[in-house]
Amino acid sequence: MTLFSVYPDQYQQQLNTKVETFKDQLSVIKQHNLPEITVFESPTSHYRMRAEFKVWHEGEQTHYAMSDRETKKPVFLKEFPVAAKNINDLMPKLMHEINNNTVLRKKLFQIEFLTTLTQDTLVSMIYHRPIDEQWIKAITPIKHQLGIHIIGRSRKQKVILDRDFVNEELTVNGRTFSYQQNEGSFTQPNATVCEKMLTWAVNNSQNSTGDLLELYCGNGNFTLPLSQNFNRVIATEISKSSVNAAQKNIIKNDINNVTIVRMSSEDFSQAMDKVRTFRRLADIDLDSYQFSTVFVDPPRAGLDDHTIDIIKQFDNIIYISCNPTTLTNNLIQLCETHSIESLAAFDQFPYTEHLEAGVILRKIR
């Protein structure tokens, strides 16, 4: 089967290959004696906190399905070993209830699971038809029976039975941070590796002075643990739902030195550079901040040129990347003013070619 290949006995070899590819990419960096890459491994199974499946109807039976990469034909699934154990436990129970209820089966075309290390689980059921009272009546007892949260979705319709988020707890150096993770918003898919990423970032910013600027903060995933190492933090994010979650997470964790700003990194960079003024910053005196460190976790496209020019002004840069190729391109520019002090590889996605990377840069004096 070419849908996916999960061979735990080959995990280490596959990871080594990805790390060697990352090393080859870094060879274009003109810095002598690059630090060794610290590699953070993943569990070899049951590591994904998110999973989504097509729904395939065949006669009177409905199945979870994914497409075979080569033949494009559906492959029916009874389990998904890369997903969290509670997702695997839930899959047959939920499908059994769906197959026993024509209201739930009718024009159901996708099911999405979102869970956490605390096993708080949300299921989104997506339909090619309007969701009505019959559906709510049919799914409500199943929600209680399975102990999960359920959302029904169809075109221009979202039915929330109780809530559309899960609660996560991540531990960093013995301290537990609580997070609200919203359905439909980005969260790190591999929670165990996420804890390692957070710990690495916190450890590499200990004994910091001054303030922190964070770009692309999401729901505050890195913001919360990093805030303990700085006097004040400004964190930016463009997604409204992520900003709302970040605000709630700040309150939930009793953190009082963080300000969240709903802006793109490009706009905030222009504000920092005094190219433009923005109403959303009217109550924030940027000149009062003494930024020593910037944290960036950009999308796969990496950083734009203007943002790179802005972060070059900081003494310390913490860069988390989901794309080593664009990271390397950015590093070519950043190493004009900074040196690489630490390198890390985080295996968020075992059995794939994807690798997350972390870099600590210090300004050259």
Q: Per residue in 143-173, pLDDT tens?
A: 999 999 999 999 999 999 999 999 999 999 9
Write a three-state SS string for the chain.
Answer: CCCCCCCHHHHHHHHHHHHHHHHHHHCCCCCCCCCCEEEECCCCCCCECEEEEEEEEECCEEEEEEECCCCCCEEEECCCCCECHHHHHHHHHHHHHHHCCHHHHCCEEEEEEECCCCCCCEEEEEECCCCCHHHHHHHHHHHHHHCCEEEEEECCEEEECCCCEEEEEEEECCEEEEEEEECCCCCCCEHHHHHHHHHHHHHCCCCCCCEEEEECCCCCCCHHHHHHHCCCEEEEECCHHHHHHHHHHHHHCCCCCEEEEECCHHHHHHHHCCCCCCHHHCCCCHHHCCEEEEEECCCCCCCCHHHHHHHCCCCEEEEEECCHHHHHHHHHHHCCCEEEEEEEEECCCCCCCCCEEEEEEEECC
Distance CA(114)–CA(50), nearest Å, equals 5
Chain-wide mean pLDDT for the chain?
94
Annotated catalytic residue: which of 169, 266, 322, 341? 322
Write the CA distances from 195 to 13, 26, 170, 189, 202, integer angstroms.
23, 25, 6, 11, 11
Q: What is the CATH number of domain 8-44+190-363?
A: 3.40.50.150
CB 212 within 8 A of CB 294: yes
Pairing of strands 233-237, 211-215: parallel
Q: pLDDT grade, residue 3 (50/70/90)? A: low
Res 267: pLDDT: 87
Res 65: pLDDT: 95
Distance CA(112)–CA(51), nearest Å, equals 6
Model confidence at 9: pLDDT above 50? yes
Q: pLDDT grade, residue 4 (50/70/90)? A: low
Q: What is the CATH number of domain 50-165?
A: 2.40.50.1070
Judge residue 29's burial from the number of C-beta atoms within 10 Å of its C-beta, 0-12 exposed, 13-18 middle, 19 or more buried.
middle
Rounded to 5 degrees, φ, ψ at 212 are -115, 135
Domain ranges of the chain: 8-44+190-363, 50-165
Distance CA(315)–CA(365), nearest Å, equals 10
Active site residue 194: no
Model confidence at 270: pLDDT above 90? no
Res 186: pLDDT: 85
CB 151 within 8 A of CB 184: no
CB 128 within 8 A of CB 110: no
Q: pLDDT grade, residue 20 (50/70/90)? A: very high
CB 166 within 8 A of CB 115: yes
- Encode pLDDT of 288-338 as tens digits: 999 999 999 998 889 988 889 989 999 999 999 999 999 999 999 999 999
Both structure tokens of 155: 């075109």
Annotated catalytic residue: which of 168, 183, 195, 356? 356
Q: Which residue has the tokens 């209201």?
A: 103
Distance CA(224)–CA(76), nearest Å, equals 40
Mean pLDDT, range 87-97, rounded to an integer: 97
Active site residue 356: yes
Judge residue 284's burial from the number of C-beta atoms within 10 Å of its C-beta, 0-12 exposed, 13-18 middle, 19 or more buried.
middle
